[in-house]
Chains A and B, each alone.
Chain A
Amino acid sequence: MNKLIKKALPSAVALALLGGANLVNAAVNVQCPGDTDGDSVIDSPDPDHPNAVCKHLIAGDSFAVMSDDNPMYIFGFAERTGDAPGDVIGNGILDAEWPGTTIELDQGDEFYLSLSNVGTVMRPDLFDPHTVHWHGFPNAATVFDGVPEVSISINMGATLTYYYNVLEPGTYMYHCHVEASEHMEMGMLANLYVHPGQDVTGCGTGCAIAGRKGGPGGGAAIGEPEGYTYNDGDGTTGWDVEKPIQVSSFDPDFHDASIFVQPLPFAALEAKYPMINGRGYPQTLWPMAADPLNPGVAEIGAPMDNTAPVAGHPIGKITGTGGEVLNNGSATQTLDSAVTVTQGETLLLRLSNVSVDRFYTLKAQGLPMKIVATGSRLMRGVTGKNIYRDVSSVNFGGGETHDVLIDTTDVAAGTYFLHAAELHQMSNLTQLDGGMITEIVVQ
């Protein structure tokens, strides 16, 4: 048996017991209209909630491996929609992902998001509750805003169902707000975006129904996009290819302090592993391995302990044994940042910054960038004036989102780089040519 799992076994067993129906006070309990067996999958649609969408997330811990092979202890989210209630905690232990599962919704959805806290088995001394904070949700009510100091958060072994009436399209993000400085640095961060109603309706001549909703979606064709970014009324936010790009960073000193149960350095936090979607270059481009326990070269597998000394740590930083699988055997860094577009198509980059530490400037030399939205809202002034901005770089801090369109009509075929503008953000700790870099291929 995996040594790590063995060590974590007592607490895992205790939590898995909690997941059963034996205890009245703590149980996995999703709420989802039309779901008859508690797995958060709609079995027969509820006529009162025809647009219900249900998801089941777990919040727990796991590991991620940086591009220089340095394993990082993480807290995070993962999706367990479809699991029977009694299986959720067992399946959710050491299952957290970095970043968490991307949530993609349509305007008009009634979103029931159940969050089950599976505990942090690698830190049995912790009893942390968790929350989901939908960052930027309009007219938020405290109860579903996920800020524990002013609201409620869910304890280990139990489930809290959040409800969102989704009416504002845009690029958002979600994250845990419990002990925000700690849980966010530890990785409880993820992409979230909402497609507009205009995808279904179009907006008149030259603004067809979106390809993703049954419209023509004709590649580079004008006025026939795959989707729209917002309800712009004039088709100017149409895109043919979209990609969420979430920038973040880990400070290895913080993560090591956490797994080795040391005081946490907040003020000294420093972005030493800058990342896009939870990976540093060149991992940003890697595909997933078919078998996470036996990844090929340049493939993402399950997190394993380091097989060579790294960053001052000996082989096997976490377990003492290089190559030891550090979690439940599934891959945790599941989101690549590789982008391919055909010349003439419009690319939508859904940029979000979830750094707890610093601002970043992203640029894509050779590609024209147009910001059409900030903070999940179309860039229109109070009088409706169009205030889109053509830019060559985007500077943004934690909590900021920008929707950026790149029209490749006048762009030569080739490989372009989307990257941090700051030299020291293009490295994985001391490993150069890494960090916050990904590639956009125009073919």
Chain B
Amino acid sequence: MKPIFKQPGRFLGVLAMGLALVLPWAGSQAAHDIRGITGPTFNLYAFPFNMNLPDGSSVHMWGFGDQDQGANTTHPDNQPGEPNVASTYGLPQYPAPTLIVNQGDVVNINLTNFGVPQPVSIVVTGHQVSASGGVPGLVTQVSRDKNALGGVAETVSYSFTASEPGTYIYHSLNGANPGLHAEMGLQGVLIVRPTGYNAMTNRIAYNEAGTDYDQEFLYLLTEVDPDLHFEIERGHFTHVTGSDRAAAIWFVNGRVFPDLFQGDFNTLFPNQPYQSLALAHPSDKVLVREVNAGHDPHPFHHHGENMFFIARDGRALSSDGGVTADLGRSDNTLNSAPKQAVDMIWTWTGKDLNWDIYGTTTGPLGRADLAHSCSNPACLDGNGDGFDDGSGAACWDVATREYCPDHNKEFPVNLPGAQDLTLGGWWSGSPFLGDTASLPPGEGGLNPFGGYFLVWHSHAEKELTTFDIFPGGSLSSMVILPLALPID
């Protein structure tokens, strides 16, 4: 996440944009990867905490934390825009640390319970896990609260081979009320990189063709019933049966709107390190690992364009023995069932809008400074219609990825004056990509780069609330940025 997104004020934004234009970032190979910690050995602990919400309330949670305090973080210090704590981060967190391993790794997770008042465990969907240490629990060995053992910490080791690439859930499962531990926050995601994966040269989600990507984001959906957490905080374990559970707060990556826009490892949210703001350039292939770790289904809708499903529950959707992910279908809304993990590729090109997304010098909203060309040396377009004269294929500009058949087409309508409009905080003042225009005092300011914000959110719209306050809940966004702006 770029720091400028967090800085209100158009002046700063314009300054930052100027900087971006002089730095040699165009065509940068940098790309976004999911934040997490790498294995194959993880040392986790469990501990309770209170999580702050944007309405000023807090919710009592149980969390897993990284006992190695960020020593194996995927994104060490000095990532642009991230407060400098990723490599020292060790708080109990919601969701649990995202564990990232490679196919074939023998993974060891050592878990110690330093203060959750019930014995906790780890189960990993899609894997055969052996456990040692601790004492037998409901389904596996468990680690009891150190405070209940006279201060002697008890560590359980879970071991498994990450034999298949994909997206998986791990969570605690134990006790008289087995769903309680996930509800309380003891859950996270395991990502297994396929054999042959390389973060720079071979960005693939699976071994199957059609699973390659440019940008990668995690969308972990959960929900919380605050009444239940209130009872647990007071130790009223037997008051909680789950039969009257009714969620009132809905999360993506453990945060709600607008906190979820505010940067990874932001110290404002000490126990919620992961943001949920997806970024892409036009025509980027965006891998979304969309995981419902909650107890309720969520219809999760992606504005801007449909996505193609490539895998479900850590297995590519393939009919040909693993050659291509050919069984995936297209949709704009994921029927996200509890504990289901779906991987998808989403791509926005701006094609066929029938107006120039970078603006024109004439027509409604035309300005001289919007002049630009649409060219590609590999595309021979003598007649200027945007299509290759030989093959008839559409040309795409090399520098901006503009769809040339729409080039220089004027904006189709006049927009009403600002006095007739209500302006969103993320409205740049201009319909053109990468452009900003003047807004009345106090308006806008949250989108200084003129990105296209395309919201990704639960379409059970009541879930766009936090404690009955709209907007809140699982209202996230994708932002299409001009190619010259780096994403990392």
Contact = CB atoms under 8 A, between A and B. Distances in A.
A125 interface: no
A397 interface: yes
Contact of A383 (B326, B352, B355, B426): B326
A147 interface: yes
Nearest to B355: A163
Nearest to B257: A149
B6 interface: no
Given A151-B424, A158-B416, A142 B465 contact: no
Contacts of A141: 350, 353, 357, 431, 433, 452
Nearest to A152: B421
B332 A376 contact: yes
Given A143-B431, A181-B465, A138 B305 contact: yes
Question: In the complex, which of the residues A129, A152, A157, A265 has the most CB atoms of chain B within 10 Å of its own CB atom?
Answer: A152
A46 to B, nearest CB: 12
Contact of A397 (B247, B297, B465): B297
B332 A135 contact: yes
B299 interface: yes
A356 B461 contact: yes
B79 interface: no
Contacts of A159: 416
A396 B299 contact: yes
A6 interface: no
Contacts of A358: 460
Contact of A136 (B306, B348, B351, B420): B306
A141 B282 CA distance: 12
A26 interface: yes
B462 A26 contact: no
B154 to A, nearest CB: 38
Interface string B407-430: 000001111110111111111000
Interface in B286-340: 297-299, 301, 303-306, 308, 317, 319, 324-333, 335
Contacts of B417: 25
B310 to A, nearest CB: 8
A269 B250 CA distance: 14
Interface residues of B, number: 69
Interface in B346-369: 348-355, 357
Interface stretch (B19-27, B45-53, B467-475): B467-475
Contacts of B475: 149
B462 A267 contact: yes
Given A263-B468, A267-B247, A377-B306, A154 B332 contact: no
Interface string A43-59: 00000000000000000
A336 interface: no
B457 to A, nearest CB: 8
A181 B335 contact: no
B170 interface: no
A82 interface: no
Nearest to B426: A150
Nearest to A398: B459
A280 to B, nearest CB: 20
B329 A374 contact: yes
B379 interface: no
Nearest to A266: B465
The DSSP consensus for interface residues of chain A is loop
Given A139-B353, A154-B421, A397 B335 contact: yes
Given A139-B352, A181-B462, A381-B328, A152 B427 contact: yes
A68 B402 CA distance: 55
Nearest to B470: A181
A140 B303 contact: yes
Of B308, B355, B468, the most chain A CB neighbours within 10 A belong to B468
A164 to B, nearest CB: 9
A158 B331 contact: no
A150 B427 contact: yes
B48 to A, nearest CB: 24
Contact of A359 (B297, B427, B467): B297
A155 B460 CA distance: 26
A112 B331 contact: no
A185 interface: yes
B176 interface: no
A41 B308 CA distance: 39
Contact of B422 (A140, A153, A181, A353): A153
Interface string A20-48: 00000110010100000000000000000
B316 to A, nearest CB: 11
A139 B304 contact: yes
A263 B477 CA distance: 28
A197 interface: no
A308 interface: no
B323 to A, nearest CB: 10
Contact of B461 (A26, A29, A398): A398
Contacts of B354: 110, 163, 165
B246 interface: yes
A55 to B, nearest CB: 14
A435 interface: no
B330 A267 contact: no
Contacts of B468: 263-267
B464 A181 contact: yes
Contact of B454 (A140, A353, A357, A374): A140
B333 A148 contact: no
Interface string B196-224: 00000000000000100000000000000
A267 B424 contact: no
B284 to A, nearest CB: 13
B298 A397 contact: yes
B253 interface: no
Contacts of B415: 143, 152, 160
B333 A399 contact: yes
Given A26-B420, A152-B427, A269 B471 contact: no
B207 to A, nearest CB: 15
A129 B468 CA distance: 21
Nearest to A399: B459
Interface string A318-340: 00000000000000000000000
Nearest to A172: B332
B424 A152 contact: yes
B440 to A, nearest CB: 12
B464 A180 contact: yes
Contacts of A151: 424, 426-427, 453
Contacts of B431: 141-144
B248 interface: yes
Scoring B297, B325, B413 by chain A CB atoms within 10 A of each residue's CB, the highest score goes to: B413
A399 B299 contact: yes
B98 interface: no
B409 to A, nearest CB: 10
B447 interface: yes
A152 B352 contact: no
B455 interface: yes
A398 B402 CA distance: 33
Counting chain A CB atoms within 10 Å of each CB, the highest count among B298, B349, B454 belongs to: B454
B422 A152 contact: yes
A147 B303 contact: yes
Shortest 7 CB-CB contacts between residues of A and residues of B: A399-B459, A397-B299, A375-B331, A143-B431, A150-B453, A165-B354, A158-B420
23 contacts: A25-B419, A110-B354, A138-B305, A138-B306, A139-B304, A141-B431, A142-B453, A142-B454, A145-B454, A147-B453, A153-B421, A160-B420, A160-B421, A266-B462, A267-B468, A356-B461, A375-B306, A375-B331, A382-B210, A383-B324, A396-B299, A397-B335, A400-B333
Given A267-B248, A400-B299, 10 more contacts: A135-B332, A159-B416, A161-B414, A178-B422, A374-B329, A375-B329, A375-B333, A395-B335, A398-B333, A398-B459
